[in-house]
């Protein structure tokens, strides 16, 4: 049975309300593809609308909590122990191109610890929820990370640096080290769903550089509650500081970390 705690219910309610408008907006994207201006401005507006709905819903349900939001930045609240970390539209490029792989991501941090996560894809109706100590679920199914232990059986997800952003040379070195040793590498373009899919056992592991707190916060809770492990690129816990993310099960995590270290040392 999926989680039904009061805070999860609040988060799911906010995500579903924002998702209804986002799904309608997504339906309009295809109509805009033919215009020369393109749908970029439209997608930005959709992103902002979704964030506004989520912010209003959460603020009404838990007055005083702080916020860290992709579009609106940090909003301090009188309650210094709690803050929401929100990405209203993770996978903007997919959304922009009419690809149905994007998500709303909401996490709750309490006293510096990530304790709740909700990741919702409005198109597929995949609702991932997790609560510290209570497990992770996809709709009503309990999630566990994959049990594979050999690199040759593993499929990893990653994020590719895009135009003008990110260390392209670093990524190329990492690919050249990892590709020959694994069953496959996928790049689906939404960090929150990559982490949720690790939690669901669809991916065996995931790594990416330079992510923001709203990209990963909910997914970190998801993976950990599904029995997996998440570290930053140096093996530490500075996951909300842009230090990158590595996620996998107990067997594959050290192997993935080792390959990435070797790639970093390569000429």
Distance CA 112, CA 132 (A): 13
How would residue 4 be classed by pLDDT, with cut points 50, 70 and 90?
confident
Closest CA to 141 of 123, 128, 122: 128
* Region for residue 157 given its phi and psi (left: phi exceeds 0; alpha: psi -120 to 50; beta: otherwise): beta
Nearest of 111, 16, 106, 28 to residue 67 by alpha carbon: 106
pLDDT in tens, 29-74: 766 655 555 566 778 889 999 999 999 999 999 999 999 999 899 9
Q: What is the pLDDT of residues 215-246, one digit of tens each?
A: 999 999 999 999 999 999 999 999 999 999 99
The CA distances from residue 142 to 36, 124, 138, in Å, are 45, 18, 7
The answer to whether residues 106 and 117 touch, using CB atoms and an 8 Å cutoff, is yes
Give the residue among 75, 76, 83 at the shortest CA–CA distance from 115.
Answer: 83
Would you say 239 and 216 are in contact if contact means Cβ atoms under 8 Å apart? yes
- For residue 255, what pLDDT is reported? 98
> What mean pLDDT, rounded, does the chain reach?
93
Distance (Å, whole) CA 81 – CA 225: 22
Work out the pLDDT band at 267, boundaries 50, 70, 90. Answer: low
Q: What is the pTM of this model?
A: 0.95
Are residues 205 and 176 in contact, defined by beta-carbon separation less than 8 angstroms?
no
166 versus 260: the higher-pLDDT residue is 260
Give 189's DSSP letter. Answer: S
Q: What is the DSSP letter of 45?
A: H
What is the model's pLDDT at position 94? 92
pLDDT in tens, 104-142: 999 999 999 999 999 999 999 999 999 999 999 999 899
Q: What is the pLDDT of residue 231?
A: 98
How deeply is 205 buried, as exposed, middle or buried, from its count of CB atoms within 10 A (0-12, 13-18, 19+)?
buried
């Amino acid at each position: 049975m999926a989680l039904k705690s009061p805070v999860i219910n609040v988060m799911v309610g906010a995500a579903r309300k924002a998702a209804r408008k986002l799904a309608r907006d997504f339906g309009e994207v295809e109509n805009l593809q033919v215009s020369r201006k393109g749908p970029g401005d439209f997608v930005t507006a959709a992103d902002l609308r979704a964030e506004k709905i989520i912010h209003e819903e959460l603020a009404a349900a838990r007055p005083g909590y702080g916020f860290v939001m992709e579009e609106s930045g940090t909003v301090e609240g009188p309650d210094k122990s709690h803050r929401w970390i929100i990405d209203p539209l993770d996978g903007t490029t997919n959304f922009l191109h009419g690809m149905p792989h994007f998500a709303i991501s909401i996490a709750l941090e309490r006293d510096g610890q990530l304790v709740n996560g909700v990741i919702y894809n409005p198109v597929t109706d995949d609702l991932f929820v997790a609560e510290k100590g209570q497990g992770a679920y996809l709709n009503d199914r309990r999630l566990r990370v994959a049990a594979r232990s050999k690199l040759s059986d593993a499929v990893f997800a990653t994020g590719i640096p895009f135009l003008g952003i990110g260390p392209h040379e670093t990524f190329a070195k990492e690919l050249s080290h990892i590709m020959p040793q694994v069953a496959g590498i996928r790049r689906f373009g939404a960090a929150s769903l990559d982490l949720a899919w690790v939690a669901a056992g669809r991916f065996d592991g995931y790594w990416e550089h330079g992510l923001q707190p709203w990209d990963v916060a909910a997914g970190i809770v998801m993976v950990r509650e599904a029995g997996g492990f998440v570290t930053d690129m140096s093996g530490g816990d500075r996951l909300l500081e842009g230090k990158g993310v590595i996620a996998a099960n107990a067997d594959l995590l050290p192997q993935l970390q080792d390959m990435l270290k070797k790639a970093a040392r390569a000429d």
